[in-house]
């Protein structure tokens, strides 16, 4: 796993698999994007606008992502229903 945190750009890229070729991406909203390989394997997650905090709902590998974000002092939250 590789983490690229761009503090100046207020974004983070978490790469779970940097070997498998990219096949398609999915946008959860304007700030959260997920990349997949041909067989649906998770390649990575990109998150923008970190200063506003990161909504964890809908993200794959949610617990891992939360640990990474919290360790970097990034606020995380979930939607209350």
List the one residue out of 70, 56, 69, 61 whose CA is nearest residue 3: 69
Please tell me the predicted confidence (pLDDT) of residue 80. 59
- The pLDDT profile of the chain, 81 residues, written as one tens digit per residue, is 999 999 999 999 999 999 999 999 999 999 999 999 999 999 999 999 999 999 999 999 999 999 999 999 999 998 755
Distance, in Å, from the CA atom of 16 to the CA atom of 38, rounded to the nearest integer, reads 15
Please tell me the predicted confidence (pLDDT) of residue 60. 96
Counting Cα atoms < 13 Å in the Cβ hemisphere of 65 gives 28
Please tell me the predicted confidence (pLDDT) of residue 79. 76
Question: Can you read off the two tokens belonging to residue 65?
Answer: 């992502």
Question: Can you read off the two tokens belonging to residue 59?
Answer: 């993200």
């Amino acid at each position: 796993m590789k983490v690229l945190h761009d503090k100046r750009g207020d974004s983070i890229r978490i790469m779970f698999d940097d070997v498998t070729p990219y096949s398609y991406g999915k946008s959860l909203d304007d700030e959260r994007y997920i990349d997949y390989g041909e067989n649906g394997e998770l390649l990575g997650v990109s998150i923008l606008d970190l200063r506003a905090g990161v909504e964890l709902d809908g993200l794959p590998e949610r617990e891992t992502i939360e640990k990474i974000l919290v360790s970097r002092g990034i606020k995380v939250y979930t939607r209350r229903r």
